[in-house]
Structure 1
């Protein structure tokens, strides 16, 4: 596996991470442009997150198969969620880790 391929996959992984985080934050993504009629649909944000999560898992799977390190772009907890593969409410609620528990 050449460096160029690893760099390419890492760039795609970063794109997928940004896409998922934009979907989590309800920001504009390519999905909005592809399905403008769905914005009215109450399930829209769920679908949008599902699509972004699936994309992220697909890139991670390719990284695993090609033995490209992917975990460095994520926190330990985020890497665990990705390895677990299931997008649960916990993943949605706790994707961004905060250190608030130490505030007195």
Structure 2
């Protein structure tokens, strides 16, 4: 039973992470279906991200309380953000780890 519960929560954690990342990328989520009128309001994307972040933190809290591993589904930096619990502009800007901007610039110059 415990193994089934762990797998269930890890699956829910994966779903919550995907939901947050879709909200972060301004892609369609279930939230859009629940509140279609909010798309017309500029604060919508901030609120949508906040809701997805809250969902993610709730699942992580449950995993922690039940001693179910959760950090493995995240990069070290992402796990640190989640453990810090505060969604800041830094979290939004640096959630995805990218290559050094100098390397990206060099690659784009090679393509020209």
Query: 2 CA distance for matches of 1:32 and 1:58?
Result: 20
Rg larger in structure: 2
Q: Counterpart in 2 of 1:59?
A: 59
Who is 1:29 aligned against? 29
Q: Which runs of no fewer than 5 residues in structure 2 stay unpaired?
A: 107-112
Q: Aligned-pair distance for 1:101?
A: 5.2
Residue 52 of structure 2 is aligned to residue 46 of structure 1: no
How far off its partner does 1:100 sit?
1.9
Please list, as runs of the form range in 1=range in 2, the aligned pairs for 1:75-86 lying within 5 A after superposition: 75-86=75-86
RMSD: 1.3
The aligned residue for residue 97 of structure 2 is 97
Q: Quick one: distance in 1 between partners of 2:33 and 2:97?
A: 30
TM-score (norm 1): 0.96
- Structure 1 gap ranges (5+): none
C-alpha deviation, 1:99, in angstroms = 2.4
Q: Is the partner of 1:98 in helix, strand or coil? A: coil
Q: Secondary structure at the match of 1:97?
A: coil
Question: 1:59–1:101: structure 2 CA closer, same or farther, 3 Å change rule?
Answer: same
Deviation at residue 102 of structure 1 after TM alignment: 7.0
CA distance in 2, matches of 1:102, 1:3: 45
Q: Tell me the CA shift for residue 98 of structure 1.
A: 1.1
Please list every run of at least 4 consecutive aligned residues from structure 1 whose deviation after the TM superposition is greater than 4 angstroms: none
